[in-house]
Chain A
């Protein structure tokens, strides 16, 4: 657990970047610091590994004041990922990743081996290991940055806008992989972003900061969306927060209608037999591939003929996904699949909406600004 106690940072020029910040980042959870530019997120993050020393208050990691630990030693136990990865351009990918193990005195061969393991973990196959950073795309560099931070298996990770310099598609992918990785590794993570959507997607709890370095609200994402504490927070989290809050509401049992479908490669006659003059769902191995318009059924069905605009939701996924599936489907019927991706049936938007109306509102906790009680506090 990382605990900020009344932390203040005033720079020599008189700028107060962080002002009496108190919060707790629980062990094994992702705490996101979010807020407008210049609100002191980076400064707060860097005080944890002593890249910046506070001018007031203290920061404890597992009840140890960071100021009592030798700075380089402290940093070797804390993974750190920054916006443009900051890879060492003169070292190969594997050598970059092996940096901290080598600083910790791990024998060379062992550190190399560890580097390959971690690269595998972040989805970079072996032939990337001997490249230099300049030979990688931005997204790949960012993965190496994450691998480098993970190499020595630190219990704590600090991440400063790690995904903000890549395009939206890659960002989404990196975020998903990051969550998958975290579900396996369970690190104590403090994650900085100025993107509220990212904060809500990734955070177990979100700390909204306002300019001047003050904490505005600390809460779980669903709670934050439902109960912003003041105008600043509600403006910051944006307009369509009602819709976004659906991400946190698990779908109840939706009234699924059976959907006629044909397999890829079906002949014109088979397809015509399956549908009247309506859009027809095409599957492969039971998994939805896309919709086809009746007018286009003039030859055996192949991938190129399909409309792929519709999204697919899983049976017990969030209501937002179910609603989106219905809204994005050309037939207006949202495709619902099971956990293996096999077709279960379809649902219409009005059915999802009535499910939403019946669904529980997000729970209310007494935790507006007071630090949350941390889970799994008994870390070594």
Chain B
């Protein structure tokens, strides 16, 4: 076994940072888009008992599609170039949705019934109530779902290197082909650090948005 030669890391530092940034965008942007789409779908699933199984079941089904297959059919469906990052972004958005529609519906269900009733009785319109009362109270549950989706996205995105879309997965496939273990480690550790960073950011934002959960005497 070769001695670990850390000079690979310092020699390629700017390239690593660049790919890490691309990886972050490919995993992070779908998280935001997915959340934006999951909010109305989750709201809808919560409101309509008839549609609920279809919305949640359908979304969950997306997650069972193998990532490689989904990435390969994306250009066909979207009409994009095979190397376009949009293939990855749309595919990752679908995976995010698969996890978040249910999470959003669960989060909204966790809002206490008497609080919802009170809001309606105060004269909130449904839309105002959603943004003013239901959504803020669902933040902790939604943040939990986002953390799972973030980690899952970071790991699935690395598969996209097989299609030649630039991100940290490149080091894993390339290092594997060259039997150059330090390069594989760069890919693995890079993904790990990225996932931890996402997790940390989501936790911090969620905490900042929910000051009432940390007051003295709160249960």
| A-B complex is real | yes
Q: Which residues of A contact B (CB under 8 A)?
A: 49, 51, 72-78, 80, 82-91, 99-100, 103, 131-132, 134-135, 148, 158
Q: Please state if B122 and A132 are interface contacts (CB–CB under 8 Å).
A: no
Inter-chain CA distance A76–B121, complex, in Å, is 8
A83 to B123, CA, bound (A): 18
| 29 sampled A-B residue pairs with Cβ under 8 A | A51-B120, A51-B121, A72-B123, A72-B124, A75-B123, A77-B123, A80-B118, A80-B121, A82-B117, A82-B118, A84-B114, A86-B115, A86-B118, A88-B119, A89-B115, A89-B212, A90-B212, A91-B212, A99-B122, A100-B122, A100-B123, A103-B124, A131-B215, A132-B212, A132-B215, A134-B215, A134-B217, A134-B218, A134-B219
Which residues of chain B have C-beta atoms less than 8 A from A132's C-beta? 212, 215, 218
Within the complex, what minimum Cβ distance (angstroms) separates A93 from chain B?
11
Across the interface, which residues of B come within 8 angstroms of A103, CB to CB? Answer: 122-124, 128
* Additional A-B contacts beyond A88-B115, A103-B128 (11; CB < 8 A): A72-B123, A75-B123, A78-B121, A82-B118, A88-B133, A90-B212, A103-B124, A131-B215, A134-B212, A135-B216, A158-B121
In angstroms, Cα B118 to Cα A49, docked, is 12
The answer to whether the Cβ of B210 comes within 8 Å of any Cβ in the partner chain is yes
Complex interface bits, B118-137 against A, C-beta within 8 A gives 1, otherwise 0: 11111111001000010011
Q: Which residues of B contact A91 (CB under 8 A)?
A: 212
| Chain A contacts for B210, CB-based, 8 A | 90
A297, B217: Cα distance in complex, Å: 46
- CB neighbours (8 Å) of A76 from chain B are 122-123
**Chain B residues within an 8 Å CB radius of A73:** 123
Chain B positions 184-219 with a Cβ under 8 Å from a chain A Cβ: 210, 212, 215-219
Q: Verify B115–A72 contact, CB threshold 8 A.
A: no
CB distance from B51 to the nearest CB of A (A): 18
CA A262 to CA B126, docked complex, whole Å = 66
Among B118, B123, B212, the one with the most A-chain Cβ atoms within 10 Å of its Cβ is: B123
Q: Which of B117, B121, B122, B137 contacts A89 (CB 8 A)?
A: B137
- Measured in the bound complex, the distance between the Cα atoms of B115 and A148 in whole Å is 13
B120 proximity list for chain A (CB < 8 A)? 51, 75
CB of A80 within 8 A of CB of B122, answer yes
Bound complex: CA A356 to CA B208 (Å): 66
Distance of A76 Cα from B128 Cα, bound (Å): 14
Nearest CB in chain B: distance from A174 CB, A: 18
* Interface pair B118/A135, CB less than 8 Å apart: no
> In the assembled complex, which residues on chain B have CB atoms less than 8 Å from the CB atom of A72?
123-125
- The distance in angstroms between the C-alpha atoms of A75 and B123, with both chains bound, is 5
| Complex interface: chain A residues within 8 A of B125 (CB) | 72
How far is it, in angstroms, between the C-alpha of A77 and the C-alpha of B123 when the chains are bound?
Answer: 8
- A51 and B114 CA atoms in complex are apart in Å by 13
Q: When chains A and B are docked, how far (Å) is the Cα of A72 from the Cα of B127?
A: 12
In the bound complex, what is the Cα–Cα distance between A341 and B62 (angstroms)?
A: 76
- When distances are taken between beta carbons in the complex, the residues of chain A under 8 Å from B119 are 88
- The answer for the CA separation of A85 and B117 in the assembled complex, in Å, is 10
- Which residues of chain B come closer than 8 Å to A77, judged between CB atoms? 123
Report, nearest first, the 5 A-B pairs whose CB atoms are least far apart. A86-B118, A76-B123, A75-B123, A80-B121, A86-B114
Query: Could you tell me if B219 and A75 are in contact, using CB atoms closer than 8 angstroms?
Result: no
For residue B121, which residues in chain A have a CB less than 8 angstroms away from its CB?
A: 49, 51, 75, 78, 80, 82, 158
Question: Is B122 within 8 A of A135, CB to CB?
Answer: no
The residue in A73, A76, A89, A103 that gathers the most chain B C-beta atoms within 10 A of its C-beta is: A89
Contact mask for chain B residues 122-157; partner A; CB cutoff 8 A; 1 contact, 0 none: 111100100001001100000000000000000000
Q: How far, in angstroms, from A223 to B35 measured CA to CA in the complex?
A: 61
Give min CB distance, B140 to chain A, whole Å: 11
User: Residue on A with the closest CB to B216?
Assistant: A135
Query: Residue on A with the closest CB to B136?
Result: A90
Known interface pairs A75-B122, A90-B136. Does A82 touch B114 (Cβ–Cβ under 8 Å)?
yes
Nearest-neighbor residue (CB-CB) of A99 within chain B: B122
Query: Closest Cβ of chain A: how far from B117's Cβ, in Å?
Result: 6
Question: How far, in angstroms, from A301 to B53 measured CA to CA in the complex?
Answer: 76
Q: Which residues of B contact A78 (CB under 8 A)?
A: 121
Q: How far is the CB of A194 from chain B (nearest CB, A)?
A: 17
Which residue of B is nearest A100, CB measured?
B122
Q: Which of B160-178 contact A (CB under 8 A)?
A: none
Contact indicator A51/B218 (Cβ below 8 Å): no
User: A78 CA to B137 CA in the complex, in Å?
Assistant: 25
Closest to A77 in B: B123
Q: How far is the CB of A114 from chain B (nearest CB, A)?
A: 15
CB distance from B192 to the nearest CB of A (A): 34
The answer to whether B212 touches A87, judged by C-beta atoms less than 8 angstroms apart, is no
Q: How far is the CB of B198 from chain A (nearest CB, A)?
A: 25
| Closest chain A CB from B115 CB (angstroms) | 5
CB distance from A337 to the nearest CB of B (A): 40
CA–CA, A73 to B115, complex, Å?
A: 19
Most buried by A among B115, B122, B216: B122
Query: How far, in Å, is A151 (CB) from chain B's closest CB?
Result: 10
Please state if A86 and B215 are interface contacts (CB–CB under 8 Å): no
Could you tell me if B117 and A86 are in contact, using CB atoms closer than 8 angstroms?
Answer: yes
In the complex, how many angstroms separate the beta carbon of B167 from the nearest chain A beta carbon? 38
